[in-house]
Amino acid sequence: MDAVILITGPLYSGKTDYARTLCPNPAQICTDAQTLAADCPDLEALADHLAGQYAVVTVTEVGGGVVPTDPAQRAAREAAGRLGCLLAARANTVVRVFCGLPLVLKGDLPQ
């Protein structure tokens, strides 16, 4: 399997549509991986698992607003951001999709 590609970007920015252009097999795409970070006891292991299991992983950037007053939401948001960093470290290619437009942040897109 090719090394994992991480796709990051704001909510509703076109990440999943873009992932499908890179990988025709939906079973090899994990979307909204940041939702798995909440309550995860071991983010490193989760990142290892996702990077090993999928060709493309997408995460939604959720850390931009006001810090939530609810402790669980606060922790989930923090974990989501950290998972994104851990995945980016494991990915050969990191792409940010903004308004449907990809910008390569790390590495190169596969030919």
Partner 1 sequence: MLTFVVGGAGSGKSAYAERLLAASPGPRYYVATMQVWDEECRRRVQRHRAQRAGRGFVTLECSRDLARLRLPAPGSVLLEDLTNLAANERYDPAGAGPYTQEAVREGWRALHRQSPHLIVVGNELFCGGTDYAGDTAAYLKLLADLHRCLAAEADNVCEVVSGCPVYYKGKEPVYGPV
Residues forming contacts to partner 1 in the complex (CB under 8 A) are 10-14, 60-66, 68, 73, 77, 98-103
Closest to 87 (Cα-Cα) out of 55, 59, 56, 47: 47
User: Do strands 101-106 and 93-98 pair parallel, antiparallel, or not at all (unpaired)?
Assistant: antiparallel
Smaller CB separation from partner 1, 21 or 27: 21
Minimum gap (Å) between residue 106 Cβ and partner 1: 15
Smaller CB separation from partner 1, 13 or 86: 13
Minimum gap (Å) between residue 56 Cβ and partner 1: 19
